[in-house]
Amino acid sequence: LYKKVNRKPGLVVANIGDASLACGPVWEGITFAAMDQFRELWEGDMQGGLPVIINIMNNQYGMGGQTSGETMGYDIAARIGAGVNPDQMHAERVDGYNPLAVIDAYKRKRKVIEEKRGPVLLDVLTYRYSGHSPSDASSYRTKDEVEAWEAQDCINSFGKELVSAEVAHQTDLDSIWSDVKELINEMFLKAIDTKTSPLMDNAEIIGEMIFSNGSVDKFSDAEPEVLMPLAENPRVKRIAGKERFAFDEEGKPYSKMKQFQLRDGIFEAIIDRFYKDASLIAYGEECRDWGGAFAVYNGLTESLPYNRLFNSPISEAAIIGTAIGYAMCGGRVIPEIMYCDFIGRAGDEIFNQLPKWQAMSGNVLKMPVVVRVSVGSKYGAQHSQDLTSLIAHIPGIKVCFPVTPYDAKGLMNASLQGTDPVIFFESQRIYDIGEQFHKGGVPTEYYEVELGEPDVKREGKDITFLTIGYTLYQALKAAEELEEKYGISAEVIDARSLVPFNYEKVIESVKKTGKIIVAGDATTRGSFLNDMAANISQLAFDYLDAPVSVLGSRNWIVPAHELEEHFFPQPSWFLDMIHERIQPLKGYIPGQNFTDGEIVKRAKNGI
């Protein structure tokens, strides 16, 4: 994908084992590589298939299972190409024990790639002599089987052919073989020599390599490919007429249609970067034409060709996996996961690949990937979950969750300027909300909001509310009620980011108020809210007049929309928690039970 979009010469060989054909992400990757749009919708020199050869190193085993006759059903791996596209991926089986056959196959398939008729699938037959790992005793196969393959080993058999054809003498081959053994032994000795290959003696360096913390305007010197000047984009024109602060001079709110919305802030940051960085691409399940499921990309289609903005298959693992590869090659990319709940469909890619390649490469590789993820509500148990805590748990990923237009634009700008992977959460409930806090409104010019810096959205002196995501607005409503009815002044802090996170502003607030509630929409058990609460309890212990309280959603599945007020934190829940766990409110009757007994009961029942 990187080679095609950035007009780089050559081709890519993706080596996979035969047993990997049972893995979902492999099929997703093949589907992605074979998309019709490369030939049907991409235009000009971009038209044509991806320059990729899927090279199946068919050693006939996966762990201890034999793919042919046991764990798979295709018999011959090359057959799967027939189910992918009309060209059947130009698939064929190749004798991997015959170097000339492999060379011939690659010469022919390279021609296919050069004619832009990829992708290609090669089933290269070979054999795995040793076990899968040192603990694998190969007890699942016979000695006779191994010896039969050894008798046909390509090094010996091809050597005999060279001698028979008088291309080489046996003494030449023996000399080469001796040199190879000597070289391998030499490399082995150097690898285990701690003077030549010293071990890391300062483990703290690992932490320094987790993030590269770079700042790069663009990853390509090419002229960004666009379809019109930025000022002529129809949505840019519409936004120019919007009010960039939600209230007029008298404090009255402008209509929703007239307000510069959170989705506009994200759009402005992204389209600005598209006009600066030719390497930037974006894709997901509904990014083009439709403008995205929540209209963030509305207007991008008019400005960008297919090779910079396109729809992907419903293949979250491929969406994130290809983005990782694209970034490793040197490009910047914005993949989109339509719903937070679908993160699990890209589990290995998000948890095991995206966060680790920078540190594993000693920061040689950079990972400028900004994954947009919308957090839903009103769509029930499988489309309304806040899974921010899962992502924050994984070292190597930056996590932010802006809930105001000013913060959304600033944090997206900062994310796109950086060189680290960012999961950029967006609440579906407030895509249409206007800017209520930054008095000058959302600036038209470029600016950044530093990741990791929380922001005081309401000043107070008696209690602190630290919120993640949409819960900011519930906390603000609760703060107003506390002030009006009980004379309690609440300071409300918007976390804005989860990783990194600077506690200094929160500690200063707690020094002043002595009390704090940490709140968010994630289910309470295992939530990042608890991590924050634990840190605050330690860092601000001397200043606390009451235990740090955590207010999250119930430990249930997300219920139907009409029951969400019983699941997600409501403004009244803040008062309930204050009354039960921090200080009694005169004449107050709580609606939610936050007593010690109820907490113990719920935990005992697993809810």
How far apart CA 52 and CA 575 sit, in angstroms, is 59
383 is catalytic: yes
Q: Tokens at residue 289, please?
A: 């034409």
The residues that bridge with 424 in the sheet, in sequence order, are 372, 400
Taking a C-beta distance cutoff of 8 angstroms, is the pair 424, 415 a contact?
yes
Structure tokens at 469: 């995501």
Alpha helices in 34-132 (DSSP H): 37-40, 99-114
Angle at 196 between CA 192 and CA 197, to 5 degrees: 55
Residue 573: which residues within 8 A CB-CB, separation 6 or more?
A: 474, 478, 551, 591, 592
Three-state SS string across 442-464, please?
A: CCCCCCCCCCCCCEEEECCCCEE
- In contact, 300 and 308? CB cutoff 8 Å: no
C-alpha to C-alpha distance for 403 and 454, rounded to whole angstroms: 12
For residue 518, the cross-strand partners are 466, 550
Strands 455-458 and 490-494: antiparallel
What separation in angstroms does the CA of 438 have from each of 172, 255, 435? 78, 18, 7
Backbone angles phi, psi at 239, to 5 degrees: -65, -35
3-state helix, strand, coil in the chain (%, to 5): 40, 15, 45
Q: Are 381 and 559 in contact (CB under 8 A)?
A: yes
d(CA 436, CA 182): 72
- Beta-carbon contacts of residue 252 (< 8 Å; ≥ 6 apart): none
Q: How far apart are CA 119 and CA 1, in angstroms?
A: 11
Cβ–Cβ under 8 Å, residues 475 and 467: yes
Residue 46 token pair: 């971009």
- CA–CA dist 469, 392 (Å, integer): 14
232 token code pair: 């002529």
Nearest-5° angle of CA 443, CA 519, CA 521? 85
**Beta bridge partners of residue 243, listed in sequence order:** 259
User: Which one of 132, 383, 393, 438 is the catalytic residue?
Assistant: 383
CB 263 within 8 A of CB 293: no
d(CA 555, CA 603): 9
Neighbours of 179 (CB within 10 A): 10
Q: How many CA atoms lie within 13 A of 180 on its CB side?
A: 7
Residue 177 CB neighbour total at 10 angstroms: 12
- Cα separation, 497 vs 456, in Å, equals 13
Q: Which residues are catalytic?
A: 383
